[in-house]
A and B are shown apart, each in its own frame.
Chain A
Amino acid sequence: MALERSDVEKVAHLARLKIEENDIPEYTRNLTSILELVNQMQAVDIEGTDPLAHPLDATQRLRHDEVTESDQREHFQQNAPAKEAGLFLVPKVIE
């Protein structure tokens, strides 16, 4: 299955990636070859095999429900380009 230029543009938009017009043909080729690899894997008989969510043969460790973090707002907000009244400020979000 070959990808179209519009597929690449859509994926780039969803990932908020800015891509150069000139690079689109190459991305299209590369992504198509990844899908071909996926197609190859689709052909494998997996009857009786459990789905794999993680490559490690391990399970999640849990933590106790305890508050261990203290307020570090000032520290964290040093990097923020804009802030006011303890809030991070971002370009207006219009619903």
Chain B
Amino acid sequence: MEWEAVIGLEIHVQLATQSKIFSGASIAFGAEPNTQACAVDLGLPGILPVLNEKAVEMAVKFGLGVEAEIGMKSVFERKNYFYPDLPKGYQTTQNDLPIVGPGIIEVEPEEGKIRQIRIHHAHLEEDAGKSLHEDFHGMTGIDLNRAGTPLLEIVSEPDMRSAKEAIAYIKAIHSIVTYLGISDGNMAEGSMRCDANVSVRLKGEEKYGTRAEIKNINSFKFIEKAINHEIERQIELIEDGGKVVQETRLYDADKNETRSMRSKEEANDYRYFPCPDLLPVELDEAYIEHIRAEMPELPKQKKQRFIDELGLSSYDAGVLSATRPMAEYFEQVKERCGDAKLAANWVMGELSGQMNKDGVEIEQSPVSAAQLGDLIKRVMDDTINGKAAKQVFAALWSGEGASADEIIEAKGLKQVTDTGAIAAVVDEVLANNPQQVEQYQAAPEDKRGKMVGFFVGQVMKASKGTANPQMVNQLLKEKLG
């Protein structure tokens, strides 16, 4: 039997506003507990929420970025449940009339394999506070700084068929929200959180199987593991004659397993109703057009431009446009040195290699785009050869100098292109290795190509790597006859 997974995702994106969605309290990360929870966030009597215009704008930007219908009239509702980190007893959210309607996003889980994932809708809502279960004399601690933080919940259709596709989708959403600047996308700080609805069915089957919802998965790595684990659990269960029950399961990263959350006895009886404190939000065409005009170039468009205008391959263009910091870095290097292909090679080669090795992100690269651009210029104008350039890059990375020129000077890496100077070194090498010269001259023509490598190596060594390799080759061939 061949099984197929059906996956739908709900992604909560924390919007990069200054203040909360319904109050003027700050949403800065890392503040002392409850110092950023004002009367509105605490749900004190007599409070009145007022909607943050930036949150609306950011939601509309997202909608335009995924070619969605924008909800010209959207309504906030109350989702009622009791939990100590939700002081009002309800979450203000959108239900029937969300601000972003159906949209679509293109993902590429494998090179050359394009998938369209439909977005069901996206809505604005407030975040809850945080419960701290460490022992406070048998009590639970509540920090309400996060209460009221603006979230955009993006709900996909069940269009994904593997954990890999789910990851590609999340990465695409991450890329769009960071390009748009509507979220910092920082998963470690909870700026993007993901719930996955997972079911399995036999391949070819039309009907969906019963789904389980996995909550609490907060990194790309865990999402893939959690989904794969859940798929296996369900297949095993069904093959052993059991049945999947609709339930919420919690992912435990330490044990790599999901387990049932039994506590939700009243699951899904949230008794939604329109929030009497908030009036319907109405947008007009002029507002939408104004935002449309301010939209930055998105990853998909950027990739296409890299291919069409810069002549990069589809793969290179994809890698270099995947995240906003990567694209910005690459474009700066390209501007500085003036050669897109060399810039692409260096960013994807030496730079990415060092980043992986040291485990740093491009934002933390010790080599700035300007420094790398200047280094490439020195290769282009033949000041240094490729080998020396790698040395200069390594020196820049470890902070041995402020610029490529400074390092080239300090290390004496300037390429020697003076024929006389190189010829002198070549003569010296040949004089010191009479035996090899004899062997070379006795060898048949087709073996000589390989043997010349020995002499090139010796010359480069004697010149401390600064001789122009093409000229060395040429001179050697002339002198060896």
Binding site for B on A (CB under 8 A): 13-14, 16, 51, 53-54, 56, 58-69, 71-73, 76-77, 82, 84-95
Cβ-neighbour of A65 out of B19, B133, B274 (below 8 A): B19
A95 CB to closest chain B CB (Å) equals: 6
Q: Out of A53, A64, A87, which one reaches B141, CB within 8 Å?
A: A87
B residues near A54, Cβ cutoff 8 Å: 75, 274, 276, 279-280
CB-contacts of B134-169 with A (<8 A):
136-144
Interface residue? B56 (CB, 8 A): yes
A62 touching B80 by the CB < 8 A rule?
A: no
B25 beta carbon closer than 8 Å to chain A: yes
Place the interface of chain B in its size category: 35 or more
Chain B residues 21 to 40 lying within 8 A of chain A, measured CB to CB, are: 23-26, 32-39
User: Is the contact region of chain B dominated by helix, strand, or loop, or is it mixed?
Assistant: loop
**8 Å CB contacts to A: which residues of B75-133?**
75, 80, 82-84, 96-97, 131-133
Instruction: Provide the residues of chain B in CB contact with A51, threshold 8 Å.
Output: 96
A59 to chain B, nearest CB (A): 4
Say which residue of A16, A64, A66 sits within 8 Å of B82 (CB atoms).
A16
- Stretch in B47-55, B189-197, B372-380 with 4+ CB within 8 Å of A: B47-55
B residues engaging A (CB < 8 A)? Answer: 17-19, 23-26, 32-39, 42, 44, 50-56, 75, 80, 82-84, 96-97, 131-133, 136-144, 250, 261, 263, 266, 269, 271, 274, 276, 278-282
Query: What separation, in Å, do the CA atoms of A94 and B280 have in the docked complex?
Result: 37
Known: A67-B26, A76-B34, A87-B141. A14 touches B276 (CB 8 A): no
Residue pair A92, B139 in contact (C-beta under 8 Å): yes
Is there an interface contact between A56 and B279, defined as CB atoms closer than 8 Å?
A: yes
Complex CA–CA separation, A71 to B37 (angstroms) = 8
CA distance A63 to B24 in the complex (A): 9
Question: In the assembly, what is the distance between CA of A40 and CA of B313, in Å?
Answer: 66
Query: Which 4 A-B residue pairings sit nearest by Cβ, starting from the closest?
Result: A68-B24, A87-B141, A65-B54, A62-B53
Whether A53 lies near B271 (C-beta < 8 A) is no
Known A-B contacts: A86-B143, A93-B131. Give 10 more (CB < 8 A): A14-B80, A59-B279, A60-B51, A61-B51, A65-B52, A71-B35, A84-B136, A87-B33, A88-B34, A89-B140
B389 smallest CB distance to A (angstroms): 46
Closest CB of chain A to B150's CB: distance in Å? 9
Residues in B whose Cβ lies below 8 Å from that of A69? 19, 23-26, 36, 38
For this complex, 7 residue pairs linking A to B, each with C-beta atoms less than 8 Å apart, are A60-B279, A66-B24, A69-B23, A71-B35, A88-B141, A88-B142, A92-B139
Q: Say how far A86's CB is from chain B's closest CB, in angstroms.
A: 4
Q: Name B34's closest neighbour in chain A (CB-CB).
A: A73
Given A63-B24, A67-B24, verify A87-B142 contact (CB < 8 Å): yes
